[in-house]
Structure 1
Amino acid sequence: MNPPNEYKPVFTVSFYNRTLHLTREGGGFIFLVFGVGLGAINTGNNLLYLILAMCCSFIAVSGILSEHTLRNIRIRASLPKTIYPGDAYPIQIQVHNDKKRSSSYSCYVEFPPDSQGRYRVEPALYFFQIPARTTVEKTALLTARKRGRLRIRYAQLRTRFPFGFFIKTRLVPVDVETLVFPVIKDVELPDPTDIAEEGEGVISQRGDDLFALREFRPGDTLSAVHWKSSAKTGNLRVKEFAHGGFHSFTLFLNVINPETQRMVASDILERRISETASLAYHLMRRGDEVRLKTHDHESPSANSEAHLESILTYLALVTPDFRTKTTENNG
Structure 2
Amino acid sequence: MIRAALRGLTTRGRSFLAAAAAATVSAFALGERELLQVAGLLAALPILAVIAVARTRYRLSCTRAVHPGRIQAGNPASVALRLENLSRVPTGVLLLEEQLPPALGEPPRFVLDRLASRQWSSVEYPIRVDVRGRYEIGPLTVRLTDPFGLCELTRSFTRTERIIVTPQVTPLASIPLEGDQSGMSPNQPRSTVARGEDAASTREYRVGDDLRRVHWKSTARTGELMVRREEQPRESLGTVLVDTRFSAHRGTGPTSSLEWAISSAASITCHLLRAGFDLHLVTDAGVDAELRPESGENIALGILAEAEASRIQSLGMALDRLQHERDQLLVAVVGLLTPEECARLAAARTGGTSIAVLIDSTAWASLPGAAKSDAERRYQENVARLAAAGWKVLPARPGARISSLWTLAGTAGGGAALAGGGPEAPEGHGAPNGQWASNGSGVPR
> Secondary structure of 1:252's match?
strand
CA distance in 1, matches of 2:6, 2:122: 24
From the superposition, tell whether residues 289 and 28 of structure 1 become closer, same or farther in structure 2 (CA, over 3 Å): same
CA displacement, residues 239-280 of structure 1 (integer Å, 9 cap, x when unaligned): xxxxxxxx9975321224799xxxxx9965444222322444
Q: Higher strand fraction: Structure 1 or Structure 2?
A: 1
Q: Which residue of 1 aligns with 2:48?
A: 61
CA displacement, residues 51-91 of structure 1 (integer Å, 9 cap, x when unaligned): 21111111012112223446433433233543233434332
1:153 Cα deviation after fit: 5.0
- Which blocks of at least 5 consecutive residues in structure 1 are unaligned? 1-13, 196-202, 212-225, 228-246, 260-264
CA distance in 2, matches of 1:151, 1:207: 51
CA displacement, residues 26-45 of structure 1 (integer Å, 9 cap, x when unaligned): 45434433332233222343
Are the equivalent residues in 2 in contact too, given 1:125–1:138 (CA < 8 A)? no
1:129 Cα deviation after fit: 1.0
Give TM-score, length-normalised by structure 2.
0.46
CA distance in 1, matches of 2:135, 2:40: 51
CA distance in 2, matches of 1:167, 1:22: 6
From the superposition, tell whether residues 158 and 300 of structure 1 become closer, same or farther in structure 2 (CA, over 3 Å): closer
Structure 2 residue 159 is matched with structure 1 residue 174: yes
From the superposition, tell whether residues 298 and 31 of structure 1 become closer, same or farther in structure 2 (CA, over 3 Å): closer
Are the equivalent residues in 2 in contact too, given 1:86–1:143 (CA < 8 A)? no
CA distance in 2, matches of 1:207, 1:142: 53
Candidates 276, 287, 300, aligned match of 2:265: 276
Amino acid at match of 1:85: A
CA distance in 1, matches of 2:148, 2:115: 18
> Secondary structure of 2:288's match?
coil
CA displacement, residues 116-144 of structure 1 (integer Å, 9 cap, x when unaligned): x2424763222121223x24231322525
Written as runs of structure 1 = structure 2, the 5 A alignment for 1:139-158 is: 139-143=123-127, 145=129, 146-158=131-143
> Secondary structure of 1:174's match?
coil
Amino acid at match of 1:45: E
Are the equivalent residues in 2 in contact too, given 1:78–1:93 (CA < 8 A)? yes
Structure 2 residue 99 is matched with structure 1 residue 112: yes
From the superposition, tell whether residues 18 and 193 of structure 1 become closer, same or farther in structure 2 (CA, over 3 Å): farther
1:104 Cα deviation after fit: 1.7
Structure 2 residue 80 is matched with structure 1 residue 89: no
CA distance in 2, matches of 1:109, 1:181: 29
Give TM-score, length-normalised by structure 1.
0.60
Are the equivalent residues in 2 in contact too, given 1:94–1:135 (CA < 8 A)? no
From the superposition, tell whether residues 209 and 17 of structure 1 become closer, same or farther in structure 2 (CA, over 3 Å): farther
CA distance in 2, matches of 1:280, 1:293: 8
Q: Which residue of 2 aligns with 1:192?
A: 175
1:113 Cα deviation after fit: 4.2
- Which blocks of at least 5 consecutive residues in structure 2 are unaligned? 188-193, 196-235, 318-445
Structure 2 residue 29 is matched with structure 1 residue 45: no
Are the equivalent residues in 2 in contact too, given 1:148–1:181 (CA < 8 A)? yes
Are the equivalent residues in 2 in contact too, given 1:17–1:171 (CA < 8 A)? no
Written as runs of structure 1 = structure 2, the 5 A alignment for 1:220-239 is: none
Report percent identity of matched pairs: 15
Written as runs of structure 1 = structure 2, the 5 A alignment for 1:191-210 is: 192=175, 208-210=184-186
From the superposition, tell whether residues 168 and 194 of structure 1 become closer, same or farther in structure 2 (CA, over 3 Å): same
CA distance in 1, matches of 2:64, 2:162: 9
CA distance in 2, matches of 1:141, 1:70: 27
From the superposition, tell whether residues 65 and 120 of structure 1 become closer, same or farther in structure 2 (CA, over 3 Å): farther
Structure 2 residue 112 is matched with structure 1 residue 127: yes
- Number of residues of Structure 1 aligned to a counterpart in Structure 2: 257
1:21 Cα deviation after fit: 5.8
Candidates 241, 251, 256, aligned match of 1:252: 241
Amino acid at match of 1:96: E
Structure 2 residue 44 is matched with structure 1 residue 33: no
> Secondary structure of 2:45's match?
helix
From the superposition, tell whether residues 271 and 40 of structure 1 become closer, same or farther in structure 2 (CA, over 3 Å): farther
> Secondary structure of 1:255's match?
coil
Structure 2 residue 288 is matched with structure 1 residue 297: yes
From the superposition, tell whether residues 179 and 59 of structure 1 become closer, same or farther in structure 2 (CA, over 3 Å): same
CA distance in 1, matches of 2:112, 2:91: 9
Moved over 6 A (4+): none
Are the equivalent residues in 2 in contact too, given 1:75–1:173 (CA < 8 A)? no
Are the equivalent residues in 1 in contact too, given 2:177–2:186 (CA < 8 A)? no
